[in-house]
Structure 1
Amino acid sequence: MGYFDACLLPRHDVGLDRLLILVGAGWGILLVLESATGAAYPGVIFREVHDAEGPTRLSFRAYWRQANGNPSLRPFLDLLRERHPDLSTAPGAG
């Protein structure tokens, strides 16, 4: 497969612990936040994501649908905005 070829990304509607068990069984890789790396699972090795210049940061997005009436959602998104500002609007962001 070439660098930009499409690949199949399976989706499993299970918790993180089950996904880590699948990774340990050789079913693929999983991108997790650093906070998830504290637990030990047989066959699972945690590695930093690197690019040509060393450790790299992955971007993510969070969306709120206006129709979602969950009262905890707005405080959660406010917390994300506070702790993880949008770097794409920073001066010099490319």
Structure 2
Amino acid sequence: MTSDAYDAFSEIPRILITTFTVALTLVCHIFLCAIAISSVFGIEQLIHWLWGQEDPKFFDVLPLRYVFGAVDLGLIAVFGGFGIWDAVKIFRGKK
């Protein structure tokens, strides 16, 4: 066995650990995002329950479901963006 082949095989544990770390980081971000979105959904349902069947409006202009939809989109963007950012940092070896 040449030293180049040995060097390639010696990198396998590091690659596997890095891949596992990235996967775990992304799963944690997805889990936290799901918890945050579930909390926002619960608050939205509470507001709809308090106001009855009608769709409440934000300052009598914007339906509240649009506001909660924007909050959901923002949470997905933030958690997704930081999850990918952390994954790239781990792959580069900076974390």
After TM superposition, is the score higher than 0.5?
no
Please identify which structure carries the higher helix content: 2
Q: From the CA coordinates, give the structure whose radius of gyration is larger.
A: 2
What's the TM-score once normalised by structure 2's chain length?
Answer: 0.18
What's the TM-score once normalised by structure 1's chain length?
Answer: 0.18
